[in-house]
Amino acid sequence: MEFSRIVGGSVEYRSDPLGGDQCRINPERATRVRQGGGLTTAAELAARSRDGCPFCPEHLEERTPVFQGEGWEIDRIRIGEAVVFPNLIPLCENHAVAVVSRRHYLAPGEFGCGLFRDNLLATPEYLRTVQRLSGAARCCGRSTY
């Protein structure tokens, strides 16, 4: 059985007619660069992907989008090492990305309290700004399509 589609921009909102489950799909995401390619460790993947990484400090300014439009006073939200900016290939209207560290790769044990703190302060700052600019903004959860 086919899912029903309601297309909003490039994001498709689909509903399963049998179970009522909903999902979002952005067909443009299929054009993203795929990672992995047979590499066996995270460190291997990190070493190979470093030069083209849009999230590393030397590329972030030129390869990531900025907040634009009326009411946005800054192009990106920055708190400590955390940087929040709009998702280039979004799944909803207010889909953002948070870069947690200036380092390209962190092993699980290298995520310190400071990194979490910076991200936990930057992300709500983004949410407060979205709410201020659009009082109708809602979470992209199941019940808000």
pLDDT digits (tens, 9 = 90+) for 62-101: 999 999 988 898 999 999 999 999 998 887 788 899 999 9
Q: How confident is the model at residue 7 (pLDDT cuts 50, 70, 90)?
A: very low
Spatial distance between the Cα atoms of 46 and 35, rounded to a whole number of angstroms: 10
pLDDT bracket for residue 116 (50, 70, 90): very high
Angle CA 24–106–84, to nearest 5: 45
Q: Is pLDDT larger for residue 37 or for residue 1?
A: 37
SS3 label, residue 6: strand
Greater confidence, 118 or 45?
118
Distances (CA, A) of 26 to 15, 36, 38, 141: 15, 21, 26, 16
**How far, in Å, CA of 37 to CA of 45, rounded?**
9
Q: What is the pLDDT of residues 28-59, one digit of tens each?
A: 777 666 655 565 688 888 888 888 899 999 99
**Residue 113 pLDDT class (50, 70, 90 cuts):** very high
